[in-house]
């Protein structure tokens, strides 16, 4: 946004115009602002997840007499930890490949970047597939059956939605790179995409602990 404003703009400024570094300075400054804004946005997303996590913890510890809760006189089963552990590794692995993709881009290693980007997107989609399998096999009474299902499906559903958006975000970035939107000095979109992807991974760390290990 701000970049294009600066590029369109003429200026009545009082410094020496159009020196070689000028464009670069503007890029750095706008990148800095957008990065700050993006990190703050991720912070608000943390708060959104925290609200639902608080709800889950509160319902589990302060309201439910036993956990998993009783439904019709039977206690619900726990979730399948082993499968979720594999799925977690898939997602965390995509975080690492994304990091390597960005590093490759920074060093102008185009082929390497493409490889890792493809891996990231595949692993991300794989995680979503795993989630779908998990949803089909979770025997906890569905989304609206009880508070366990409500917290589990709402939180992991929100997370899954974030992963889903993230996959498309990465695909869009990949298309942009092939169109030459970024070079190895100016790639804020890729930075933002990587941060978002790491963020999604880390939310999963918390959810994995809360639902499968606690």
Partner 1 sequence: MATLAPGVQTGPYHAVLDHIHPEPTSFIRKYIFSIDHKIIGIQYMITGAVFFIISGLLAEIIRTQLLTPNGLLVRPDTYNSIYSMHGSSMVWFVVIPLLTGAFGNFVMPLQIGARDVAFPWLNLVAFWIFPVAGVILFSSFLVGAPDAGWTEYPPISLMGPPGTNLWCIAVFMIGISSTMTGINFLVTILKMRAPGMTLTRMPLFVWAQFATTPLSFIATTALGGALAALFIERVFGVPFYDPKRGGSPLLWQHMFWFYSHPAVYIMIIPGFGIISEVLPTFARKPIFGYKMIAFSSVAIALLSFSVWAHHMFTSGMVPWLQLPFMIITMLIAIPTGVKIFSWMATLWGGAIRWKTPALYAAGFIITFTYGGLTGFFLAAVPLDYHEHGTYFVVAHLHYVLYGGSIMSLFAGAYYWWPKMSGRMYNETLGRIQFWMVFIGFNCTFTPLHWLGLLGMPRRVPNYDPSYQFWNVFASVSSYVMALGTLLFFYILVDSFRNGKKAGPNPWGARTLEWMIASPPPYYNFKKIPAVLAAPYDFGNPLPYIGLDAADGAVEATPTHSSHPVPTH
Partner 2 sequence: MESLAGIEKIVALVGAVVVGVFAVISLKGEWNKTGLDDHVTKLLLGLMAFGCILVLLAAFGILPRGGGA
Lay out the site mask for partner 1 across 28-67 (x = CB under 8 A, - = otherwise).
-xx-xxx-xx--xx-xxx-xx-xxx-xx--xx--xxx---
Q: Which of residues 52-111 bind partner 2 (CB under 8 A)?
A: 77-86, 88-90, 92-93, 95-96, 99-100, 103
Place of tokens 């206690």: 75
For residue 127, which phi and psi values (nearest 5 degrees)?
Answer: -60, -40
- Binds 85, which of partner 2, partner 1, none (CB < 5 to 8 A, cut-off by type)? partner 2
Give the closest residue to 165 by CA, choosing from 203, 133, 210, 138.
203
Contacts of residues 149-155 at CB distance under 8 Å and 24 or more positions apart, as own/partner, are 151/52, 151/55, 151/56, 151/59, 151/60, 152/79, 152/211, 154/52, 155/49, 155/52, 155/53, 155/56, 155/207, 155/210, 155/211
149-178 binders of partner 2 (CB under 8 A): none
Q: Which of residues 72-111 bind partner 1 (CB under 8 A)?
A: none
Residue 32-61 contact track with partner 2, rule CB under 8 A, x = bound: x--xx--x--x-------------------
Residue among 50 and 81 whose Cβ is closer to partner 1:
50
Please choose, from the candidates 126, 134, 127, the residue with its C-alpha nearest in 3D space to the C-alpha of residue 152: 134
* 130 is a site residue for partner 2 (CB under 8 A): no
User: What mask, x for binding partner 2 by CB under 8 A, covers residues 186 to 205?
Assistant: -----x--xx--xx-xx-xx
Q: Does 133 bind partner 2 (CB under 8 A)?
A: no
- Torsion angle of C-alpha atoms 41, 42, 45, 51, degrees rounded to 10: -110
Cα–Cα separations (whole angstroms), residue 118 to 33, 101, 177, 179: 29, 9, 13, 16
Spatial distance between the Cα atoms of 55 and 112, rounded to a whole number of angstroms: 43
Kindly state the DSSP code that residue 78 receives in the 8-state scheme: P
Which residue ranges make up the site for partner 1 (CB under 8 A)?
Answer: 1-2, 5-6, 8-15, 22, 25-26, 29-30, 32-34, 36-37, 40-41, 43-45, 47-48, 50-52, 54-55, 58-59, 62-64, 69, 143-144, 146-147, 149-150, 153-154
Which residue ranges make up the site for partner 2 (CB under 8 A)?
Answer: 32, 35-36, 39, 42, 77-86, 88-90, 92-93, 95-96, 99-100, 103, 191, 194-195, 198-199, 201-202, 204-205, 208-209, 212-214
């Amino acid at each position: 946004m701000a970049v294009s404003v600066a590029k369109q703009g003429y200026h009545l400024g009082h410094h020496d115009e159009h020196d070689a570094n000028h464009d670069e300075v503007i890029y750095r400054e706008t990148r800095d602002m957008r990065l700050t804004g993006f990190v703050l946005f991720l912070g608000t997303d943390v708060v959104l997840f925290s609200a639902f996590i608080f709800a889950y913890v509160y319902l589990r510890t302060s309201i439910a007499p036993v956990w998993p809760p009783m439904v019709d006189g039977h206690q619900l089963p726990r979730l399948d930890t082993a499968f979720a552990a594999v799925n977690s590794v898939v997602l965390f692995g995509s975080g690492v490949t994304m990091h390597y993709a960005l590093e490759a881009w920074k060093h102008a290693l185009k082929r390497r970047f493409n490889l890792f980007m493809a891996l990231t997107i595949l692993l991300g989609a794989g995680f979503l597939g795993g989630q779908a399998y998990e949803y089909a096999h979770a025997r906890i009474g569905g989304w609206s059956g009880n508070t366990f299902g409500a917290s589990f499906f709402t939180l992991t559903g929100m997370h899954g939605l974030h992963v889903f958006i993230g996959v498309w975000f990465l695909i869009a970035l990949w298309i942009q790179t092939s169109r030459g939107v970024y070079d190895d000095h100016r790639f804020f979109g890729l930075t933002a995409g990587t941060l978002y992807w790491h963020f999604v991974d880390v939310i999963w760390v918390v959810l994995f602990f809360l639902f499968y290990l606690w």
